[in-house]
Every structure is written in C-alpha cells, then in structure tokens.
Amino acid sequence: GNSVTQMEGPVTLSEEAFLTINCTYTATGYPSLFWYVQYPGEGLQLLLKATKADDKGSNKGFEATYRKETTSFHLEKGSVQVSDSAVYFCALSQGGGADGLTFGKGTHLIIQP
C-alpha cells in the first residue's frame, strides 16, 4: 500500500536558518504530493503541492520538488521565521477514484528567536 515517511521531530532551528524537512513516499503510478501545515489548535492548511514529476511547488518562501527517481518531496525554506513554528505533514493522493490522503507522521518545527 501507499506510505509516506518523514523525519519526526521536534526540529529546532534559530530564526533565519535554512530549513529542510525530508519526505519520501511509496506509491504505485503517479501520485500527487502535498505539504500541509498545522498551527497549534487549528486544522490543516495546504502549504504547497506538485502533481507530476519534476514539478516544483512553492508558497510563502517554502519550496518542494517532486523527484520521482528518488521518490522524494523534501520541503525547504531559505530563512525561517518564528511564525513558521508548526507541525508539517507530507501527504500523497493516489487518485483513480481512491482519493483519501496518505499522511506522514508530521514534523514538529520550533523556531527560536
């Protein structure tokens, strides 16, 4: 079956540091890939997505590239802010009528001033 593996946390960085959160997946065919973010006490918000190989999703300074050869979708940001502190989830959608998202376990990111 489908699965998503991401580094768990917490990951603690200083403000303005470079961020990478690794995500790899197992799926058949050509899934769509997503990063969602969950702020404390809130629901999930879509951060970015990519629907085919070599696509780059980007939003709010975050980027991730769909790498089919390494089955990865790593999240990066050049300079993090305290307001980026949240839990980040990598997810995939298989499509073909079975469209429940498969999530990784989430990475808790803490940015210190």
Partner 1 sequence: DSGVTQTPKHLITATGQRVTLRCSPRSGDLSVYWYQQSLDQGLQFLIQYYNGEERAKGNILERFSAQQFPDLHSELNLSSLELGDSALYFCASSPGTSQETQYFGPGTRLLVL
β-pairing verdict for 107-112 and 11-14:
parallel
Q: Report, in Å, the least distance between residue 110 CB and partner 1.
A: 18
In the complex with partner 1, which residue's Cβ is closer, 64 or 80? 64
**Cis amide leading into 10 (omega within 30):** yes
In the complex with partner 1, which residue's Cβ is closer, 80 or 90? 90
User: Tokens representing 32?
Assistant: 């769509």
User: Tokens representing 55?
Assistant: 């696509």
- The contact set with partner 1 (CB under 8 A) reads 31-32, 34, 36, 42-46, 49, 51, 89, 93-106
Q: Report, in Å, the least distance between residue 18 CB and partner 1.
A: 27
Q: Report, in Å, the least distance between residue 39 CB and partner 1.
A: 11
Residue 14, CB half-sphere, CA atoms under 13 Å: how many? 0
